[in-house]
Structure 1
Amino acid sequence: MGNEQRLLALLVCLVLGGGLTAAVVGASRAARPRAGSVAADFATPRDMLPEPGRPAAGPDASTGTMTVDCGRNGEGHYNQDNLVVSPGLRAGAHHTHSYVGNLSADALSTDASLAAAPTSCAGGDRSTYYWPVLRRTDRPGRDPHENGAGHGNAGEIMPEAAVTVEFRGSPVGKVVPMPRFLRAVTGDAVAYTAGAEADVRARWGCSGSPGLASPHYPRCPAGQRVTRTLVFPSCWNGLDTDSPGHRSHLRFPTASGVCPADTFPVPQLRVSLAYDVPAGTPFALDAFPEQMHSPKTDHAMFVNVMADERMRVVVDCLNEGRTCRT
């Protein structure tokens, strides 16, 4: 009887040990960053919804637009830094960003260094605009940041075919100037693991279906560009150029365009990107490894380095209802 009990105990240990091993291996595989997106991350134009229209303009609205020509990163300005969220920390983003505007922007940038640097923007705008790169995952990457530190961001960087930097006014009133060196963030880089969508802002679409958009990557018909739009908050607290968490000093207006109490409307930044993606080509955003390249984690950053007189030109254009371009 004693031998039978010992044999039964041994069998139980083996079964339990095998289950534990499988669980550990499964958890390890789940935690391992994958190299691309999955089918559930994609939508076709028929799955997309109409983009919300702009609120009706009131009698005091600032209805103008100012487009700033900043090129499309022909200089190849990439790095894994994030001077807004992790200033001073090299490779603090753990994924690669693409830039237009200020040509010196990196983790070690200061207000003074940004103000003295050259820029890709016309009209002398030294602001920096940046976002995670999009990679074609069926081709090997050739950039030095591919798969940096084993974070799963692999593949050939897809260059932007078009970049539009645009400032808009407020539908309910006049805008006031942004302070110089204002920091701004849109989107949520950890939306996948957070399981929350309150800060998911990017909208994706196809060039042949204007007005339709989705928080998912698009599967566009042949000959159409993949589009990506990032809109920034535009209600400033009137005091700070940054805040803990980088959000409370600059907030989004309501759906009707009204700013929260104790905030003032400033020019609303809208960055629109387009990519030439052959139909059926797999692609994915660079992201933190645990975010699994989810399109919901798309985000962008901005530091206003316009001289005060340049910002005044933008504000006057918006408040006077004109269509302007530099």
Structure 2
Amino acid sequence: MTGDIGEQGSCTTCAYSEDFSNYWTAAMYFRHENGSYHKVPQYPNAQLGTEGQNATDIKGGMTIYYTQKDFYDNGARNITAFKPGFRMTVGNPATKVINSTRAQPGLRYTCLQTILTRGFETPDFPTTPCPAGIMAIHHFPACWDGVNLDSPDHQSHMFSTTLGGFREASACPSSHPVRVPQIAYETMWDTTVFKDMWPKDGSQPFVWSYMDGKGYGTHADYVFGWKGDSLQRVMDDNCFFHSCGSPGVQGILKTQTVREMNECAVKSTVPEEVEGWLDALPGYEVEV
């Protein structure tokens, strides 16, 4: 899809009804000892619940953050919203080795002890069963060249100064001087449904859909799609979290109910089996 997708969509699964952006990351699969695979289900972030709405009713498990400074303060810096047609990616599925834990700041995993666990991040998949599942984390770069809405590799028009976590990124270089919102994805994977199937040899059984069992190749895509000036309005405001707008709370952004979010769906156009127990990952042939 090209152009301003904010004007092309008919519905959105986001809580903010003016956000028609596309957010994507790979699917996670459990690899059984017998060689079969099963897609890992997602579950919603418990902190998304608001008055009159239960977070557990939300379909999906990805939470999107647009921070101006850090997780606790908007700061006073001017933040430029993305423009129609803007897109970018972070991470690389071809990454097989990480020589330093600092090599990919912002691309991390958390072994959830509870659904509210934060911190204790690792650059690779957790090596032991996690009581509340695995959270995959993607922090995007926040420095833009101010000219190109995209680039051939979908990354060169951006520059990452992220420090990881939700800390404020370092200053932008002269080559990419425009500070844009710091975007982060948190995807909650319910690995607990496989807790009784953990391999007897103790090996880590989870893989990304592109056959990455280490987790170093984790990556994510972003395509801007906020309607009109809605994202710039909130970047110019000092609201925070639910105070920016939520059902029952009037804010600068328009919102929709969980029911309305869940009613938005896209039918699959690829005749491919991705659910249930599979002999091979989707797109891979079984060796005989």
Under TM normalisation by the shorter chain, which class is it? 0.5 to 0.7
Larger radius of gyration between Structure 1 and Structure 2:
1
* Cα deviations by residue, 1:73-125 (Å, 9 ceiling, x for unpaired): xxxxxxxxxxxxxxxxxxxxxxxxxxxxxxxxxxxx22256632232123221
Task: Letter of the 1:213 partner, please give it.
Answer: E
**2:27 equivalent to 1:126:** no
Q: Is the 8 A contact 1:200 1:296 kept in 2?
A: no
8 Å CA contact retained: 1:177, 1:266: yes
Q: Select which of 131, 134, 150 maps to 1:242.
A: 150
Quick one: structure 1 residues 222 and 203, their matched pair in 2 at CA, closer, same or farther if it must change by over 3 Å? closer
After TM superposition, the structure 1 = structure 2 runs for residues 314-325 of structure 1, keeping only pairs within 5 Å, are 314-317=234-237, 320=238, 322-323=240-241, 324-325=244-245
| Correspondence 1:96-175 to 2 at 5 A | 109-111=1-3, 115-117=7-9, 118-122=11-15, 123-138=17-32, 155-162=37-44, 163-170=62-69, 173-175=77-79
C-alpha displacement of 1:306: 0.9
Q: Larger relative CO (CA 8 A, sep 6+): 1 or 2?
A: 2
Q: Does 1:272 align with 2:186?
A: yes
Deviation at 1:253, TM superposition (A): 2.0
Q: Any idea what the Cα deviations from partners look like across 1:110-168, whole Å, max 9, x if unmatched? A: 2256632232123221110001100122299xxxxxxxxxxx9x622112112211100
* Alignment CA distance shift 1:245-1:221 (3 Å): closer
Deviation at 1:315, TM superposition (A): 1.1
Which residue of the partner structure matches residue 261 of structure 1?
174
Per-residue deviation, 1:185: 0.7
> Unpaired segments of 5 or more residues in structure 2?
45-61, 70-74, 164-168, 199-204, 246-254, 256-288
Identity of matched residues, %: 23
Unaligned 5+ segments in structure 1 are 1-108, 141-151
User: Aligned equivalents of 2:68 and 2:107: distance in 1?
Assistant: 20
- 8 Å Cα contact 1:200/1:297 also seen in 2: no
Q: CA RMSD, aligned part only?
A: 2.9
Task: Indicate how the Cα distance of structure 1 residues 222 and 300 shifts in structure 2: closer, same or farther if over 3 A, else same.
Answer: closer
Task: Give 2:140's match in structure 1, choosing from 210, 232, 236.
Answer: 232
Q: Per-residue displacement from partner, 1:11-38 (whole Å, max 9, x unpaired)?
A: xxxxxxxxxxxxxxxxxxxxxxxxxxxx
Q: Distance in 1 between matches of 2:209 and 2:162?
A: 30
Q: What is aligned with 1:8?
A: none
Residues 139, 162 of structure 2: 8 Å contact kept = no
The one-character-per-residue Cα deviations of 1:199-246 (angstroms, maximum 9, x if unpaired) are 574201122252111011114556322111101111111111001222
Which one-letter code corresponds to 2:161 in the other structure? Answer: P
1:190 and 2:89 correspond: no
Alignment of 1:13-162 (within 5 A): 109-111=1-3, 115-117=7-9, 118-122=11-15, 123-138=17-32, 155-162=37-44
The counterpart of 1:215, out of the listed 118, 123, 135, is: 123
Q: Give the TM-score, by structure 1 length.
A: 0.55
Structure 2 CA distance, aligned partners of 1:277 and 1:246? 31
Q: In structure 1, the residue corresponding to 2:183 is in which secondary structure? A: strand
Letter in 1 for 2:170: G
- TM-score after normalising by structure 2: 0.61
Counterpart code for 1:283 = F
User: Residue 283 of structure 1 aligns with which residue?
Assistant: 206
Please give the per-residue CA displacement for 1:255-286, whole angstroms capped at 9, x wherever unaligned.
Answer: 46211114211111110011221236422111
- Aligned residue-pair number: 201
